Structure 1
Amino acid sequence: MLQGGLVLKKLFSRTTTVFLFLVVVFLLGASFYTYIQDRKLQSVSLNSLRMASWNLAQLDNEAGELDFQIRLMASGVGDPDNLLLRYDILWSRYDYLINSEESAPTREHDNNEERLQDLFAELRELEGPIQALAEQGDGRWVEVLAAWEPQKDEIRDLVTDNFVGDETSRLMTSVQASRNRLANLRFMTLGALIAVFIYFALAMVFVRRQSRMDPVTGLPNSNYLRTVRQVSPDKLIVACEIRRFQLVLGDYGNEGANELTRLFVRKLRKCLSSGDELVQISQSEFVMFLSPREGISLEQTARLLVEATTFDWRQPESVLHISAIFGIDPPCVGDGSGWSIRYQQAHRALAQAHEEGHSYFINGENLRKRIEEETQIHSGLSRFFNHEPCPLKLHIVYQPIVSTMDRNYVTGAEVLLRCQHESLGAIPPNRVVDLCERLGLGGHLGRWLFRRIARETAELYKDLGFHGNLSINLNPSMLTDQLVDQVQSLLIDAGVPGNALCMEITEDNAALEFETINRLIGQLRDLGVSFALNDFGTGHSSLEYVRELKVQRLKIDRCFVDGIELSEDKARFLGSIIAMAEQAYMKSVIEGVENEAQWQLVEQMGGSLIQGYHAHRPMPLADLIALLQDPATSYPLDLPVSTASRRLVE
């Protein structure tokens, strides 16, 4: 295959292309030359040659008839009328030869036209004597005959020269040469056309092969993959991706990335057996069709692939650790679910490996079920946001946030998303948010959430005089330059005070770009909106976020609260986080306080606010209003407030 590729490359090299160009130029030149040479003969045809021969033969015959009548008259036995008739006929023949278009070939040959003009003039000179003698009935016909004889000889010479002379021979030779040139040119043209046709046929094969082959690795590429109609159901379909390839591309450029790709492919090829196939989708993405190894499980096969593609890539000034991630769709029974579905499932397994942080993931019944569920959820979300009837419903609940100093003092509430599907039941909120982000619905979810909050909480702020904080989680799609306008138009203008809003950013969201996030924080702070860093401690760079982001609250994840009543080390660690928040001039909100022992410990540590089941569970708006109207409950007021609202607080 490699040698064939080299032959094709040479065949379509610049030298071959120039050679074919010169052949075409030569054929064009030959055609032009033939045209110039044959232009002189363009009026010559078999019909014209026959016509010219017939005209001259008739001239000779008619001259002979006139000669015969003159001799009869000279002998005294002729008929004057016949003589005059023959004279007129010969006169008409000369006129036809000299003036008619059909006689052009005769006139154009050699000096025929001049000779015909001279003969015609001599004939007209005889007209007077012949006319006079014919009227007298008797006369000196011998003198006429003597004057006529030279003309008759000249006519015979003209006919002889045109039919058997060298000029006529050369004319026919020229015509034959022209025919030979045309025949040769047709043969060369036909040969050239066949060669060009073969060349273009090979060119189509070459281009098709090149379009289906990656130029760097020589592997079949995505164009080839589109031609695959079926994959044996007993083969594994493996989707593969080089980790952090974009960093390699950024640090080492395209040449360095190509070098790594070639090295990676060599290592993958060592894992292939006879009948296996490796296809390159992009610089860093591949798909493999593998036959199961006898006595080796799918997990062992996956680990072998991982081990083969984990290595140190040594550069002149650095060493980069390279690894890959795999998604595997196992063999299926019978015809299975079709090649395209299996290919999709392999990539879904690859995405699942990414999400779980593993080196590989093998598709199974659970993943297939998850894909089907996500398809239903996606359809439901799309229809829900378009206000169409659908089996999926979104709503919000509120989990109160209370002070560690007084558990009956509700400082605010976090707005939590809830999702219910008719057939799937309750769907975890983070799953809904992740799907919206992956499927481009994050912006729709954010706008719906803002409108819903404004519509539901208007009663809190207008009627109750409540002025506690509403904590709202921002998904990544909401962190754009449009956020400020959306908060203003959908929340503040709808009746929610700006200084009652607290926007929560998770560490993953903040990783987008500190400068962008801080600019949004600054713009929204001008409207009175505060910010909190949510789920602190669950990311990899928590302290960096605390230092870089201009937030006012730190929400400490429940993982740091779990078990503090049972472990002094855990309790001491949580206390250090709370102290750090105080030193950074941030309020700390401790999530996940589930029992009294945890509450007491957090209270001793000086935590500012608590959000957990031990204080309050998430509740619908009606329950939150009922909680705020409970005489035992107090909350921040928006002064001045109505007497009724003040009485509720008291």
Structure 2
Amino acid sequence: MAGLTMAGRRWTKQRLLRLYALVMGVTGGFLLALSARDVVAEAVAHPPMWLMTVLAVVAGMLAFIERPTPGRPPLIVCPTICFTFAIQLCWGFGPAIAAQAVAVLLVRWKLHAPMVEAVKAWGQYTLAFAASGAVLWLGQPDPFERNGPTNIATDAIAVVLAVVAWIVVYAALEFVHSVLRGAPARSRSLTSAVGNQLLFKASLLLLSPVLAVAAHINVGFVPLVFAPLFAVQRMARLSAERDRAARMDPLTGLANRAGLRAGFNDLLAARGRVSPDGVPAPAVLSLLMLDLDRFKHVNDTLGHDVGDRLLVAVAERIAAVQPAESTVARLGGDEFAILLATHTPQEAERVACTVVHALARPVALDRLQIDVTASLGIASYSDGEDFPTLLRHADVAMYEAKQRGDAVATYAARADQNSPERLKLLTDFRDALTVPEPQQIAMHYQPQVSLATGEVEGVEALLRWHHPVHGLVPTRDLLSVAEHSSVMQQLTMRVIDDVTAQAAAWRGTGLTLRASLNVSVRDLYSDDLATHLAARLRERGVPPERVQVEITESALLADPSRVQATVNRIAALGVAISLDDFGTGYSSLQHLRRLPISEIKIDRSFVAGMADNRDDAAIVRSIVEMARTLGIRTVAEGVENEYTRQLLAEAGCTLIQGWIAAHPMPGAELVRWLSAADVVRRPARGGALPVRSQLQT
């Protein structure tokens, strides 16, 4: 039903355009018929009129089609009116429109334009000449009969007013035609296109009086105008080509980012308007952004030439399925975008699925079948947004699709990790890191208790940031903002400084605890981590065995060779390495053999399920048994009840960490907690953990 409706609208628009062209053609034919006698009389009496007509026809050979940007209607740039208006000034209205009719037919033949366009153009020219003819009839300019100052002024004014009348009528008719074609009445593109046409035509019309005077004095001077006219035409063509190049991708012929922005402005101006056939314009403005999967692999394997040909083939497929009145653009590299207006968001999703299916077929290049897949993000315009915001939202949705492994994803604010609010949060966090005093950023320490002895053998350092406005910021939210920025490295250095300083303070009181600190994947790619850690241990006199570095399984997947080099440097310092969140990633067990791992931390998702899920309990027992065989210590995270503690004790787990023992607490408070709590008694194996609940903070 929707397809039939759209087809009906297109048929109505085409019918209106054909009706408009018919009215223009009939009007022009009627006026030419009325002037036929004058045409014949002037042609017989004034042979130079023939030369001027021939020159008008020759000038038509200089015509070219200007296509400002993909998706916009073409403009025919032709200098014939320079000669036909001169004919009107010299020999009247009838000869001018007759010469213009011949020139329009020639231009149509040269540019292969549709006949309906030629009829429409000639009708508009005829009515414009009729308006200028009326002004000339009233002003009666005659520079060869009257030479006084007053007559010179009145003749010039009459000609200028005739040019103005011609421009006004032509602009009004072109405006009506553009609106019938579907352009919004206040569109920037419509204003720009009509304005450029009028400027060009006004320049030609104002040159016509010079030709008219030259024709009266010596008709041989008239052809000399072709030299400057050709230069002007050449500059106009070069200007059009530069404008087109500035808005078009040279490789694919699609719009570029500037062209996409222009399309956004056009569609935004059209929202909420009603077309001449009474159909409201689509109100939902959507941007679809897609990125080819594994395109770098094609470039690296087959070369950039093949990669470019693949991009061209992808562009052709997208353009083949793009909806009418939409703009397809290549933003750079292997990123493409489709900007369209629909009546519902579901229509944009259907277009996205159509594009995905169009790209599903392999592309044949150099006798190879290259499979093409893409991740596509959809973002819809909201009132008050600008083009960069819409583009960023589509980009976020596209990468959300990549991360989820889906072909299409729609933008959701909750998944946006790059909102202005989060950016401000990152800026505030960077500022807080530069302050050495712990007014905002502090480390809290959660005890790790031995299941065999009940002793607190170590602690894990956990970040806490108390924002002056937002209060305590969840660590998960903070890390999601910082992990992809340089702030993450600043944070790691600050954590090393604070933890080593705390370890030195504890050592001064006789407390010997192993403090674990977490590092990110970015930190493991740099030598700065090991260098900074070694410097702080040396400066503060902290034995290396009192500090432990925790890395996650996911860190081992990104670049194992670089990670292993950094881990080996840290282990060479005497610092232990702990593998965090074990069991949740996809790392090979060979890492346990190749890397100097001293400890495995069993993820809380398995530990929490032990009491109710036999599979989780079996997984935990298997990890503990494997680690014991390899001589690796095990820590169970997230232990919150006595039953789970007993199951872990029976399995032979080394340490537990969780609320059953203690909440995370500042370093100074940990010392008081250890002094007040009976945490160093050695209960029988499997007995209750000797930590009093009232001491949990």
TM, length-normalised to structure 2: 0.58
1:217 aligned partner: 252
1:385 aligned partner: 433
Cα deviation for residue 437 of structure 1 reads 2.7
Of 510, 520, 534, the match for 1:488:
534
Residue identity opposite 1:411 in structure 2 = E
Q: 1:198 to 1:297 in 2, by over 3 A?
A: closer
Q: Give yes or no for the alignment of 1:348 onto 2:396.
A: yes
Q: 1:397 to 1:244 in 2, by over 3 A?
A: farther
Tell me the distance in 2 between the aligned counterparts of 1:400 and 1:317: 63
Q: 1:339 to 1:631 in 2, by over 3 A?
A: closer
Contact residue 553 and residue 579 of structure 2 kept, 8 A = yes
Q: Give yes or no for the alignment of 1:537 onto 2:572.
A: no
Cα deviation for residue 471 of structure 1 reads 0.9
Q: Give yes or no for the alignment of 1:435 onto 2:481.
A: yes
1:163 aligned partner: none
Residue 665 of structure 2 aligns to a residue whose secondary structure is coil
2:185 aligned partner: none
Tell me the distance in 2 between the aligned counterparts of 1:582 and 1:631: 30
Q: 1:205 to 1:512 in 2, by over 3 A?
A: same
2:99 aligned partner: none
Q: 1:363 to 1:416 in 2, by over 3 A?
A: same
Q: Give yes or no for the alignment of 1:332 onto 2:382.
A: yes
Cα deviation for residue 332 of structure 1 reads 2.7
Q: Give yes or no for the alignment of 1:470 onto 2:523.
A: no
Tell me the distance in 2 between the aligned counterparts of 1:364 and 1:264: 27
Residue 322 of structure 2 aligns to a residue whose secondary structure is coil
Of 269, 273, 277, the match for 2:327:
277
Tell me the distance in 1 between the aligned counterparts of 2:463 and 2:470: 17
Q: 1:389 to 1:314 in 2, by over 3 A?
A: farther
Unpaired segments ≥5 residues, structure 2: 1-63, 68-221, 272-283, 683-697
Tell me the distance in 2 between the aligned counterparts of 1:547 and 1:304: 48
User: Per-residue displacement from partner, 1:134-182 (whole Å, max 9, x unpaired)?
Assistant: xxxxxxxxxxxxxxxxxxxxxxxxxxxxxxxxxxxxxxxxxxxxxxxxx
Of 422, 445, 469, the match for 1:374:
422
Tell me the distance in 1 between the aligned counterparts of 2:424 and 2:288: 26
Cα deviation for residue 452 of structure 1 reads 2.0
Residue identity opposite 1:341 in structure 2 = T
Tell me the distance in 2 between the aligned counterparts of 1:616 and 1:342: 47
Q: 1:379 to 1:499 in 2, by over 3 A?
A: same
Cα deviation for residue 325 of structure 1 reads 2.1
1:553 aligned partner: 599
Residue 561 of structure 1 aligns to a residue whose secondary structure is helix
**Cα RMSD, aligned residues only:** 3.7
2:622 aligned partner: 576
Q: 1:499 to 1:350 in 2, by over 3 A?
A: same
Tell me the distance in 1 between the aligned counterparts of 2:297 and 2:628: 38
1:52 aligned partner: none
The number of residues matched between the two structures is: 450
Q: 1:190 to 1:340 in 2, by over 3 A?
A: same
Residue identity opposite 2:443 in structure 1 = I
User: Per-residue displacement from partner, 1:208-230 (whole Å, max 9, x unpaired)?
Assistant: 43354333322112353466672
TM, length-normalised to structure 1: 0.61
Residue 373 of structure 1 aligns to a residue whose secondary structure is helix
Tell me the distance in 1 between the aligned counterparts of 2:445 and 2:470: 23
Residue identity opposite 1:279 in structure 2 = A
Of 403, 411, 417, the match for 2:450:
403
Indicate the structure (1 or 2) with the bigger Cα radius of gyration.
Answer: 1
Q: Give yes or no for the alignment of 1:599 onto 2:639.
A: no
User: Per-residue displacement from partner, 1:608-646 (whole Å, max 9, x unpaired)?
Assistant: 22222222222222331123324623499xxxxxxxxxx
Tell me the distance in 1 between the aligned counterparts of 2:368 and 2:647: 49
1:424 aligned partner: 470
Cα deviation for residue 444 of structure 1 reads 1.3
Tell me the distance in 2 between the aligned counterparts of 1:293 and 1:356: 28
1:608 aligned partner: 654
Write the mapping of 1:238-277 to structure 2, written as runs, cut at 5 A.
238-277=288-327
Residue 307 of structure 2 aligns to a residue whose secondary structure is helix
Residue identity opposite 2:259 in structure 1 = Y
Unpaired segments ≥5 residues, structure 1: 7-186, 637-650
Contact residue 450 and residue 491 of structure 1 kept, 8 A = no
Write the mapping of 1:32-51 to structure 2, written as runs, cut at 5 A.
none
Residue identity opposite 1:251 in structure 2 = T
Residue 659 of structure 2 aligns to a residue whose secondary structure is coil
Tell me the distance in 2 between the aligned counterparts of 1:385 and 1:311: 51
1:290 aligned partner: 340
Tell me the distance in 2 between the aligned counterparts of 1:204 and 1:549: 64
Tell me the distance in 2 between the aligned counterparts of 1:496 and 1:225: 59
Cα deviation for residue 291 of structure 1 reads 1.8
> Identity over aligned residues, as a percent?
25
Cα deviation for residue 315 of structure 1 reads 7.4
Q: 1:215 to 1:389 in 2, by over 3 A?
A: farther
Q: Give yes or no for the alignment of 1:498 onto 2:540.
A: no
Cα deviation for residue 525 of structure 1 reads 2.1
Cα deviation for residue 278 of structure 1 reads 1.2
Tell me the distance in 2 between the aligned counterparts of 1:329 and 1:631: 56
Q: 1:369 to 1:417 in 2, by over 3 A?
A: closer
1:518 aligned partner: 564
Deviates more, 1:408-417 or 1:487-496: 487-496
Deviates more, 1:318-327 or 1:612-621: 318-327
User: Per-residue displacement from partner, 1:526-567 (whole Å, max 9, x unpaired)?
Assistant: 321111121122222343543443322222211222322223
Tell me the distance in 2 between the aligned counterparts of 1:314 and 1:273: 25
Q: 1:378 to 1:389 in 2, by over 3 A?
A: farther
Moved over 6 A (4+): 3-6, 187-194, 314-320
Tell me the distance in 2 between the aligned counterparts of 1:607 and 1:512: 29
Cα deviation for residue 5 of structure 1 reads 9.6
Tell me the distance in 2 between the aligned counterparts of 1:555 and 1:519: 22
Write the mapping of 1:300-339 to structure 2, written as runs, cut at 5 A.
302-310=352-360, 322-333=372-383, 336-339=384-387
User: Per-residue displacement from partner, 1:369-418 (whole Å, max 9, x unpaired)?
Assistant: 9724303312211322344999x932221111122213x31111111112
Write the mapping of 1:114-193 to structure 2, written as runs, cut at 5 A.
none
Q: 1:272 to 1:402 in 2, by over 3 A?
A: same
Tell me the distance in 2 between the aligned counterparts of 1:596 and 1:282: 58
User: Per-residue displacement from partner, 1:330-350 (whole Å, max 9, x unpaired)?
Assistant: 2434xx322222222222333
Residue 489 of structure 1 aligns to a residue whose secondary structure is helix
